[in-house]
Structure 1
Amino acid sequence: MGKKWYLCWIGLLVFVLFLAGCGNDEDASGKGKDDSGNEDGVTIKFHTWINDDAGKWDKVVAAFEEEHPEINVEVEPLVENMSNEEYLQKLDLLASSGEELDVMMFSDVTDLSKRADAGLVAPIDSLIEEEKLNIEEEYSNSSYPKIDDSYYGLPGKMVTMLVLLNKDHLDEAGLPVPTDWTWEDYKEYAEKLTKTEGNTKRYGSYFHTWPDVYFILKLLGKQENSSIVNSDGTSNMEDPMLEETLKLRYDMEQVDKSSVPLSETLSQKLDYRQQFFSESASMIPSGSWMVSEWGAFTPDFTMAWAPWPKNNEEGPSYTEIGGDIFSIANNSEHKEEAYTFIRWMTTEGMILQETWIPTWNNSDLNEVLDNIIATTTNPEAVDKESLIYTLENSVPGIRSYPFSYLTEAYNEFNTEAELYLLGDQDLETTISNAKEKVQAVIDENQK
């Protein structure tokens, strides 16, 4: 009798849970109701490192859902501090735990390539073909998320590497905003902008810690072969621009004392935004995301922009031009809906966001910048003329293939470069060791 009662009780519980499930707006398949009661509504999850304040997700998602009432979007910023590195760690944990994902963002093709190689990201060629979309006509020449002849996402914001300058410091030193300059010019500017006496001590320059930018400054100024691994999988560690970059930094940090020493950056855990906006440094090579991403700072000085310094006086100002990528998870059950969202997000959504410069070719640069600058804490701080000039006169170099092991190669290079810049190893030994270690990474991954 007791067993029968138990089975009846279990049956009743299952029935009640079934009824409760039927009453929910969303069932286990991810289908839900839109505001009009549409039973065919689908909910997709969107993971990013961009927090709500910067991404303005409430406004953006509301606009998308109004245009596409059959798709509901749940934005899930995995970090609040806008740390891409921490975001990737948490995203990888979700993926390894079997969490169902839909849409996710990557800051560059290298981060994407590593996850695509691991099977996390889905190719979207069939969806692109179905729409008859020509990506290279629709989006500007920046970060095409193409790996092994397949597309693994759509490009979002455009990031142009450039130099951000404190115009008030330039005016004080009698220096014009550069429009065509070399790294030797940059070095001279840094020396003239440095102040070592009084209460207003400052450095003329600050280089941050990212090895794929600040340890290859001159390499990024080349038309092609601008990475430590070439597109054919061979090492590019023989390029003299690598040695010249490290020598430039050493001289500025240890000899001229015109740039923040790496030892100080590491020991004090300095941040590039803090260094620039607190006026501790007059110039920083950085990216165009700095047009609006000021963090908690409200600069009361004028910011100017200049093109990436050239390696020699001849030719155009080549630079790295890349950007965010919106991708679709391989295990998503709603790939078509996810594609609808990323297509909208990389076009109309980027304009509506009024935070970053889009790669979408149908956007108006002047209007976009006006809207972005208007939303900052101090629009008067932006020297728009120098910004437009820099963006329009920066020529993208030919990017190397985004091998999934590229980050590992840069980490090995970083270890040796730091020893040199900290004064613990000579330059010849540094380059020799770095060549050997990078080649070992290449060999291990090409077996």
Structure 2
Amino acid sequence: MKRRKWLKLVLMTTLAASMLSACGGINSSSSNEGANAGSASEASAGGSGEKINLKLWGAVPVEAGPQEVIDNWNKENPDIQVEYVRYVNDDPGNLKLDTALITAQDADLFINYTINRLQKRVDAGVALDLSSKTDYNIDEQMGPDAAQWKIGDKYYGIPTKKNMLFIWLNKNMLDEAGLPVPSVDWTWDDLREYAKKLTKENVYGLMQHDAAFTATIDGTIAGLGVTKPDGTSNFDNDLWKQQLQTVHDMMFVDKSTPEYGEQVTSKMPVDTNFLKGEAAMLAAGEFIFRNANNQKEFPHDFKIAFATIPKVTADQKDYKYAGGLGDMLSVNAKSKNQDAAWKFAKWYADGGMLPMASGGRIPSSKSVDNQQAMELLLKGNEDSYDTASLNNVVFGQFPSFQLNVPQQALDARKEEYEKYFLNEQDIDTTLTNMTKRHQDYIK
């Protein structure tokens, strides 16, 4: 009876948190052991002749690579069979996953897409602490950016892919307007001028995917510090004010980007719009490759180039780029088959996930050849991309971050900037309210 009451309380808490948020390192021996061998208990997983069945939850559509990954594993490992469960990476989808994790039902492995989601799962006791796993060195395999995913100086999963948001460019439109592919260090003033020159009838200069909408202000606060030296909120900084004003002016003065209300209420498919030639630039991430490479469903005849997400100002110090590593693969601490799940996780991270490269998910492990990943990414579409800018941006090295701010504070921030972009309040009121609400969470 006590267990049932506890479980009910946890589920209610999870539901309430989701509704509210609508919106030490691992010691190891050789990394090769982690890539090719499991622990003794893993070697015996399924050794009794009984087949182990695992379920992996992820947000990527099964046809965009996950099914091929699972098929490859299942063919090589008849004693440990894995099934992929697709969930949508939004609040209802994450609630569905969290419920499965807490109840230990049908969720042995799961992929986290933000550190805030992972933190909640660590707090709920469903993400396995990997400190005891001495057969795989995450820092060595994935590089220094992996440490951004540590919680309390511990890993609760393996960050498996290179992560980055950038500007997709219709190079044909740039050429027609006499505009070069932007340099790495361009600014939002530069982007605004590009957008004005590229805007024409039925074509926006810029569209932004929801995932990229706050990339610049996030990268700014990551460099400035979420709080000031005195411990108070830094949400009222001048760079945020300038950036938000620039985007507002692009909406209502230049009309070079969709008005926020129109984009949200119509659920504007900005990636499709870009590929149809209805936008000259698109702020988004590598996940757009799965559509851009699908010429059957998203036909287009223009070459695509790439630029970084711009800074606010040219002299901006300590600006960081939204990216680093992503797709944090965790083992459910409540799974009855943790050893088998851990064996799969290592295999997936060190090359098993390669079939997903065609959809833009570039493995981060040093065991994977970047050239092989790039060939898979471009296979059959080599002429569709400007390879120079693709190498500079998509495969480039930039100072990155994982924004570690409570989800409630981010949701409050969004509520305030939405009011500004809906012309329900001015910029100064917006910054004041953002700061006050963040300060309340700090307290």
TM more than 0.5: yes
How do 1:41-52 and structure 2 match up within 5 A? 41-52=51-62
Distance change >3 Å, CA 338–CA 68, structure 1 → 2: same
Report the equivalent of 2:183.
179
1:88 to 91, 94, 97: 94
Which of the two has higher C-alpha Rg? 1
Report the equivalent of 1:71.
80
2:344 to 317, 341, 345: 341
Pairwise CA distance, 1:343: 0.9
- Write the distance in 1 (CA, Å) between the matches of 2:267 and 2:113: 22
1:381 aligns with 2:380: no
Distance change >3 Å, CA 231–CA 75, structure 1 → 2: farther
1:306 aligns with 2:307: yes
Pairwise CA distance, 1:38: 5.9
The one-letter code of the counterpart of 1:138 is: Q
Distance change >3 Å, CA 412–CA 33, structure 1 → 2: closer
- Write the distance in 1 (CA, Å) between the matches of 2:313 and 2:261: 29
Report the equivalent of 1:60.
69
- Write the distance in 2 (CA, Å) between the matches of 1:175 and 1:366: 30
Give CA-to-partner distance per residue, 1:374-417, whole Å, 9 cap, x none: 16xx44322222111113444123444x35xx221111111111
Distance change >3 Å, CA 236–CA 190, structure 1 → 2: same
The one-letter code of the counterpart of 2:121 is: R
The one-letter code of the counterpart of 1:74 is: E
Pairwise CA distance, 1:361: 2.0
Pairwise CA distance, 1:262: 0.5
Structure 1 segments unaligned to the other structure (5+ residues): 1-31
1:369 aligns with 2:351: no
RMSD of Structure 2 on Structure 1 (CA): 2.8
Identity %: 29
1:330 aligns with 2:340: no
Distance change >3 Å, CA 230–CA 47, structure 1 → 2: farther
How do 1:344-423 and structure 2 match up within 5 A? 344-355=347-358, 356-374=361-379, 378-400=381-403, 402-403=404-405, 406-423=406-423
Pairwise CA distance, 1:246: 0.8
- Write the distance in 2 (CA, Å) between the matches of 1:111 and 1:216: 18
Structure 2 segments unaligned to the other structure (5+ residues): 1-43
How do 1:97-176 and structure 2 match up within 5 A? 97-127=103-133, 130-131=134-135, 133-144=136-147, 145-176=149-180
Pairwise CA distance, 1:427: 0.8
- Write the distance in 1 (CA, Å) between the matches of 2:193 and 2:99: 46
The one-letter code of the counterpart of 1:117 is: D
Pairwise CA distance, 1:292: 3.0
Does structure 2 retain, via aligned residues, the 8 Å contact 1:221–1:308? no
Does structure 1 retain, via aligned residues, the 8 Å contact 2:170–2:305? yes
- Write the distance in 2 (CA, Å) between the matches of 1:54 and 1:153: 22
2:238 to 234, 237, 240: 240
Give CA-to-partner distance per residue, 1:275-332, whole Å, 9 cap, x none: 3112221112221232334474232221111122133335797412131111011211
Give CA-to-partner distance per residue, 1:332-366, whole Å, 9 cap, x none: 11111111111111111122443321111232223
Tell which deviates more after alignment, 181-190 or 232-241: 232-241
Does structure 1 retain, via aligned residues, the 8 Å contact 2:111–2:329? yes
SS in 1 for 2:73: helix
1:319 aligns with 2:309: no
1:282 aligns with 2:292: no
Distance change >3 Å, CA 372–CA 208, structure 1 → 2: closer
Distance change >3 Å, CA 282–CA 394, structure 1 → 2: farther
SS in 2 for 1:205: strand
Pairwise CA distance, 1:112: 1.1
Does structure 2 retain, via aligned residues, the 8 Å contact 1:223–1:396? no
SS in 2 for 1:354: helix
The one-letter code of the counterpart of 2:364 is: T
Tell which deviates more after alignment, 181-190 or 360-369: 360-369
Does structure 2 retain, via aligned residues, the 8 Å contact 1:317–1:393? no
Distance change >3 Å, CA 232–CA 101, structure 1 → 2: farther
Does structure 2 retain, via aligned residues, the 8 Å contact 1:167–1:302? yes
Pairwise CA distance, 1:225: 4.3
- Write the distance in 1 (CA, Å) between the matches of 2:123 and 2:108: 17
Give CA-to-partner distance per residue, 1:403-440, whole Å, 9 cap, x none: 5xx22111111111111111111111111111111222
Does structure 2 retain, via aligned residues, the 8 Å contact 1:208–1:265? no
Pairwise CA distance, 1:222: 6.6
- Write the distance in 1 (CA, Å) between the matches of 2:326 and 2:154: 18
Does structure 2 retain, via aligned residues, the 8 Å contact 1:142–1:359? no
- Write the distance in 1 (CA, Å) between the matches of 2:287 and 2:208: 17
